[in-house]
Amino acid sequence: MMEEVGKFTEETKRAGILLATGGLAPLGTRVRSSGGKLAVTDGPFTETKELTGGFALIEVKSREEAIEWAKRFRKIVGDGESVVQEVFGG
């Protein structure tokens, strides 16, 4: 599987859409604001089976194109979930 993921990553680089990838630590800190009060809570925050292990930031022309790339990735890595979310700013 890792070899296939490597090939997929190289393909996204060649296509010129890959901006960044990385792994995410299972721990984190949340800072919440409610009614003018701030709360800081250390994680993890989700069940291990829901852990976000990494990310890929791609720049494509449409949401539909992003979904197609995500579907191809899921076919390589198998069961799990990928989130497609637009990033604003630049």
Q: What is the pLDDT of residue 20?
A: 93
Q: Over the chain (90 residues), what is each successive 10-residue block's mean pLDDT? A: 92 95 81 90 63 85 95 91 85
Q: Which two tokens stand for residue 56?
A: 């890929």
Is there a contact between 76 and 4 (Cβ–Cβ < 8 Å)? yes
- Can you tell me the distance from the alpha carbon of 11 to that of 62, in angstroms, rounded to the nearest whole number? 18
Contacts of 12-16 spanning 24+ positions with Cβ under 8 A: 12/56, 12/58, 12/69
Answer whether residue 30 is part of any domain. Answer: yes
Residue 89 in domain: no
Domain count, the chain: 1
> Cis omega before residue 26 (within 30°)?
no
Task: Establish if 83 belongs to a structural domain.
Answer: no
CATH number for the domain spanning 26: value is 3.30.70.1060
User: Does 85 fall in a domain?
Assistant: no
Establish if 49 belongs to a structural domain: yes
Alpha-carbon gap, residue 21 to 57, rounded angstroms:
6
Prediction pTM value: 0.72
Q: What is the extent of the structural domain holding 26?
A: 2-77
